[in-house]
Each structure stands twice: as structure tokens, then as C-alpha cells.
Structure 1
């Protein structure tokens, strides 16, 4: 007796149209990857290439020669080292403070029994639609006595409404009301419920907030530009901006006596700009792999749908 023939199962992914669609996706994603990687590789190559090769435009992808004078200048410059230290301080403090405020606010407006929670949500959303502007913000910072202090950089952007909404959605989807009721039956108050039940379940959304606030604070320079006058408090991004504005060579200063010296300084300065960009990129690139797992999970679960 012959065994019955089994007809092969046709999977959706085996169809010709799906294979073509998958290949197109790979091509598009590969193009986006190259578009992101090329500037990074170019900046890194330019920062270690010979200054003369960089000036002549010989650097396209890989380094031409090897010269680390720009990194030596960064290490030996007190102003650049101070700016880097200030940025690290502002980033860590701003990320911790913003995450703490966001977790508390998101947890409160996620509770269904919280009175006026819809009003609180609307109260948070209105400033995102109607901004007061630079001058009123400056007057508020000045009236609080924050001018020319580190808090002028940290507090104005301490909490993002977008992050609060993501955190609220995360709590609504991952901390059911039954847990709150069980904790209340066991005699736990609101603070104990938050710190002992909700917070241990919040590692993904904590990672999301830390990364969002950390990257935003690390790249920020406008608040420091408005509220700081002391060079010793400038973050790295503001120092880098000032270096970029000073990169042009005054044609009136060119003369036969000092032409070679000026051009040499300009070549070193061009390399210094790229080296500063590399230094500014290092901390986010180092931090992201450690929070990637929780970041993806928290961003997907806590996103507003």
C-alpha cells in the first residue's frame, strides 16, 4: 500500500513577491546604513589624517597618513577638558533628575483612581503647543536666580511631556490595577506601592528615559548659550560651537611673514574640529549598547498607540 502523498505547504514568505519585497527592504536598509556610517567613518578618518591631506581634500573614506596632534591638543587644552567634564556632569544630573520626575509624573497620571488626572495630562500638554518664547523663559530663569549656574542648563529641560506620556502608557499596560489592589489589601500606601511594586517592573522605561534625557542633555547647547557667561561652566557642545565660529581665517591677516604659520594653525584647527566631534560622539556610543535591550522593549511597550 503506497503512502499518501503530502503536498508541500506554501508559506507566504516563499512567494516571489515577498522575496522581491524582502530584497528591496535589504537594499533600502543597506543604503540607510551606508548613509549613517559614512559620515562617522569620514569624521574619524579626518581626525587622524595628516593636516595637509585634509586641506587638499585627499581624505574620502580612510585616513591618509597618521597624525594625532588634534587629540593631543584636546587633552592639553584646559578649556576643552573642562567643557567635557561639564557636559558629563550636566548629562548625568539631568538624566537622573529628568527620569525621576518623569517616572513619578507618569505613574500618577496612569492611575485610574487619581482625581483630575485628565486635567493634569492636559496641563502638561498645553505648554508643548503654546510656548512662551525665549524672553519669558529667560526672565523666569533670572528671577529664580539660576543665571550663570549649572542649574540653568539642567532645570529648563528637565522633563519632557513626550517621555511622560510614554511612561504613563507603560504603566497602564504593565502594572495592572490588581497589583495596586493587592498592595492596598496588604497595607501598603501609595509610596510603598510605587517603590516596591511599580518601580521594580519599570526597568525598560527607566532605560528609555535615561537614554532620551542623557542624549538630549549631552547635545544641548542653547540653554548654556542663553544663561551662562562663565567659560568655566560651558558644556562641550558650546565650546565646540565657539571653535566652529572661529574657524574662518581673516584674509587681512595673511601676509608673507606669517602666512605659513597661519595656514599651519588653520590645518590643525580643521583637524581639531573633527577630533572634537569624535570626542563628543564617544559617550552616547558607549552608553547605548548597555541600554539597548531595555530601550527597545520600553520604547515599543510604552509608545503611544
Structure 2
């Protein structure tokens, strides 16, 4: 039989369909990339021209005053960078480990209390104690005021991520593998770390990416628990900077020197410069998770 006639009709993709698919994906990619390029362009724009002519992908006049204003106190910014990097790294590792340690027992059929722990997780997703009890617990009872633990502890557990990990274990980990490990004399800890975790990298990477984004973008815990400026996170320091700039601009604008204010306090371009500075580590980390991200998210999202 001729090879050309053996090809099924649904296996043939016309050039028009291929062109349409490529066009759609290119348009989608541009929709993701162009906003980032626009943010970079605005961060290098002159504040006065930005106010008069609006946003442009290529600024009429390249101006680095926003970055100069941002790095005017570089020591504070670098300390905040170190705090955010440390909290994000330590918090992500601990959170992924604790989530996996919780999800593994409730996936096991021989665990007698799995229903109780599942109901407990569901309750935490539906109900919250509120902000005041949350603050009193960390400050009055745990005495975590002005400590790095106060920045790490709130993000160590997430019921939704635990359910994702549990579902992934149900869909991926065969009971026969666990039984064979027991027959070989392996302990529960050895089965978990040497058999379960190595084949669970997709879901661990997915949860790790979400947790990394949560820790890196967090500023609220610094607002609640941190008074020592040496322990402020990067996001909180940047929020303080933009608030100070806006306050200074509003005060001077009322005195009739608005044009001078636009040049000396570049609030709009400063916002975009902060986005550029803060987005760097995330762009660096994402490629390490990308290999496992889609598989972990899709398998873990299947209801089991």
C-alpha cells in the first residue's frame, strides 16, 4: 500500500490550519511580552513627557531618573532584597516539604484518620478566624514580632495545594510500589523520601512555583509584624518609597511648582522601575519550574 494513501485524513493538517495556529500562538505570545516591554519603556521615560504624551513603547527621551531615585538609598534596597530572597528560598523549601508530608498520609488508604484530616483541611478553606486573631496569635502568643519567622510561618501551609498534592499522589503513586517497599524492609520515611518524592517532582515544582510567587510578592506580613527597617521585605520597601514620593509630589504640587515636581519626583516611571527590579528573580526562577509545571498542575487538578 502506498504510504500516502495509508495516512488517515485527520492526521493531515493543511497549511492554512498550521498558519492559523502559528498566528494565534504568536499573537498570544505578543500579548504576554508586550506589556513587559511597555513597563520597561515607561521606567526609562521622562516623567514630564509621560504626563503630556502618555505611554509609548519607545520613549521620546530616555531618562533614568526613576532608577536614580529608586537606588538613591541602595543599602536599604539591597537589604530588603536579601530579606525577600532568604524568606522566599527558606519558606518555599519548608512549605513544599510540609505540604507533601501532609498530603502523603491522607492519600494512603491504610491511614485511619484520613477523613478527619480531610475535613479539617476543608474547614480551613471555608472559614477564617480573621485578621485580629491572626495578629494576636503571632504577636501576643507566639511572640514573633520583628522576626523573620513571622514572614515565613504564615505561608508554610495551604489547603488547596495539599489537595493538589494528594490528588497527584492518587493518580501517580501505585499502591503496589509502596507495598513492595515495605516487603523490602523500607521504613515509611524511606518510602516517602526515596520512592514517592522522586516521582512527584511535577507537583512539587508546581506548588514550589506558586509558593515562590506568594513569598516574593508578600508585603502584608511586613506591614503587620515588622517594625525593624532592617527586616523589611523588598515589596514593602518599594511600597514605602512610592508612598513617600506621592506624598512629596502632592505637597509640592499645591505650592505651584508642578512642573518641577514632575521632574524631581517621577512617580509613574518609578512604579514601573519597581516592577522591573522586582520581577527579575521570578523570571530567573521560572525556567527551572517550567519543565514540570504543566504536568503537575493538570494531573494534580483531576478530581480523585
Q: Same fold (TM over 0.5)?
A: yes
Contact 1:215 1:284 in 2 (8 A): yes
Contact 1:41 1:62 in 2 (8 A): no
In the other structure, the counterpart of 2:250 is 250
Q: Could you say if the C-alpha distance between residues 115 and 154 of structure 1 is closer, same or farther in structure 2, counting changes exceeding 3 Å?
A: same
Q: Could you say if the C-alpha distance between residues 59 and 260 of structure 1 is closer, same or farther in structure 2, counting changes exceeding 3 Å?
A: closer
Q: 2:220 aligns with which of 219, 222, 237?
A: 222
Q: Is 1:208 equivalent to 2:192 in the alignment?
A: no
Q: Is 1:107 equivalent to 2:104 in the alignment?
A: yes
In the other structure, the counterpart of 1:265 is 264
Q: Could you say if the C-alpha distance between residues 200 and 21 of structure 1 is closer, same or farther in structure 2, counting changes exceeding 3 Å?
A: closer
Structure 2 gap ranges (5+): none
Contact 1:51 1:271 in 2 (8 A): yes
* Separation (CA, whole Å) in 2 of partners of 1:22 and 1:154: 48
- SS of the equivalent of 1:88 reads helix
In the other structure, the counterpart of 1:275 is 273
* Separation (CA, whole Å) in 1 of partners of 2:252 and 2:243: 18
* Separation (CA, whole Å) in 2 of partners of 1:149 and 1:123: 29
| Aligned ranges 1:45-194 → 2 under 5 Å | 45-77=41-73, 78-142=75-139, 143-194=141-192
In the other structure, the counterpart of 1:11 is 9
Q: Name whichever of 167-176 and 61-70 sits farther off.
A: 61-70
Q: Name whichever of 186-195 and 56-65 sits farther off.
A: 56-65
* Separation (CA, whole Å) in 1 of partners of 2:158 and 2:283: 22
C-alpha deviations, 1:13-59, integer Å up to 9, x for none?
A: 7699xx78994x77776665444333212110011223333232353
Structure 1 gap ranges (5+): none
In the other structure, the counterpart of 1:303 is 301
Q: 2:194 aligns with which of 182, 193, 196?
A: 196
Q: Could you say if the C-alpha distance between residues 179 and 224 of structure 1 is closer, same or farther in structure 2, counting changes exceeding 3 Å?
A: same
* Separation (CA, whole Å) in 2 of partners of 1:192 and 1:215: 30
Contact 1:58 1:64 in 2 (8 A): no
* Separation (CA, whole Å) in 2 of partners of 1:263 and 1:64: 16
Q: TM-score, structure 1 length as denominator?
A: 0.86
Contact 2:93 2:208 in 1 (8 A): yes
Contact 1:46 1:274 in 2 (8 A): yes
Q: Could you say if the C-alpha distance between residues 60 and 199 of structure 1 is closer, same or farther in structure 2, counting changes exceeding 3 Å?
A: same
Q: TM-score, structure 2 length as denominator?
A: 0.86
How many residues are matched? 298
Contact 2:242 2:270 in 1 (8 A): no
Shift of 1:114: 0.8
- SS of the equivalent of 1:172 reads helix
Shift of 1:242: 2.2
- SS of the equivalent of 2:296 reads helix
- SS of the equivalent of 2:214 reads helix
